[in-house]
């Protein structure tokens, strides 16, 4: 309770945030958790995000989730460009605070007011409404991708598209349907696309 109060006090606009449960530590294995919940932050450049939108064929009516959203730029850009509903989730409160600036930077305040854009502080592996997503954007390390794969297979609806930056799922039964090497402003990025089939 105290912990939640402290966290809430840190957040300047309470209505924007939904607290979801923090990662569980089984048997207090801190090293394992550090590996699983690696909070390294590298934002995806806008040009690369545009390419990810193209690959997923993002359009009005889509519901875009960014799991590990960093400063929230992907969700804000999608809302601005396509009018999509979007949810960004990050485990680091600092990143969620930065989402406040992102809302202003991309001019999506009205989307936030209408509940169309939402940023959540919490574990992206424990998102109760992930089945609402029609598009998932990822730029997450291999350990996270490995843990997300069975969750995605279980709960994503057919037709949903997943685009991942640099890291891919390894399951032989779910090969990416498209892999591209995209020349960004600073380096070459590998981008993967999956579409969820009827029988995953």
Ligand X SMILES: C[S@@+](CC[C@H](N)C(=O)[O-])C[C@H]1O[C@@H](n2cnc3c(N)ncnc32)[C@H](O)[C@@H]1O
Which positions lie near ligand X, rule CB under 6 A?
A: 37-39, 41-44, 66, 68-70, 73-74, 89-92, 95, 123-125, 139-140, 144
Q: How far is CA 157 from CA 31, 46, 166, in A?
A: 34, 27, 24
CB of 72 within 8 A of CB of 102? Answer: yes
The dihedral built from the CA positions of residue 72, 73, 79 and 85, taken in this order, carries a sign that is negative
Spatial contact of 160 and 133, defined as CB atoms under 8 Å apart: yes
Beta-carbon contacts of residue 129 (< 8 Å; ≥ 6 apart): 87
Please say which residue, 47 or 197, places its beta carbon nearer to ligand X: 47
Residue nearest to ligand X (CB): 68
**Residue 39 or 158 having the CB closest to ligand X:** 39
Q: How far is the CB of 197 from ligand X (least distance, A)?
A: 25
Least distance to ligand X from the beta carbon of 92, Å?
Answer: 4
**CB closer to ligand X, 8 vs 39:** 39
Cα 185 from Cα 74, distance rounded (Å): 17
H or E element in which residue 26 lies: none
CB of 164 to ligand X, least distance (A): 10
Return the number of the residue (78 or 112) whose C-beta is nearest ligand X. Answer: 78
Minimum distance of ligand X from residue 67's CB (angstroms)? 6
């Amino acid at each position: 309770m105290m912990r939640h109060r402290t966290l809430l006090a840190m957040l300047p606009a309470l209505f924007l945030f939904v607290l979801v449960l923090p990662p569980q530590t089984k048997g207090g294995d801190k090293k394992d958790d550090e590996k699983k919940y690696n909070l390294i932050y590298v934002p995806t450049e806008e040009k690369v995000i545009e390419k990810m939108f193209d690959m997923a064929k993002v359009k009005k009516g889509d519901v875009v989730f960014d799991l590990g959203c960093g400063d929230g730029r992907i969700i804000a850009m999608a809302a601005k460009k396509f009018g999509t509903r979007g949810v960004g989730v990050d485990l680091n409160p600092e990143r969620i605070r930065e989402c406040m600036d992102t809302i202003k930077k991309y001019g999506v305040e009205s989307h936030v007011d209408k509940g169309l854009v939402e940023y959540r502080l919490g574990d992206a592996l424990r998102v109760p409404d992930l089945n609402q997503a029609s598009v998932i954007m990822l730029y997450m390390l291999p350990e996270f991708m490995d843990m997300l794969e069975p969750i995605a297979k279980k709960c994503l609806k057919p037709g949903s598209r997943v685009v991942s930056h640099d890291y891919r799922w390894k399951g032989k039964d779910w090969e990416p349907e498209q892999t591209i090497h995209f020349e960004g402003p600073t380096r070459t990025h590998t981008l993967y696309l999956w579409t969820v089939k009827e029988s995953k």
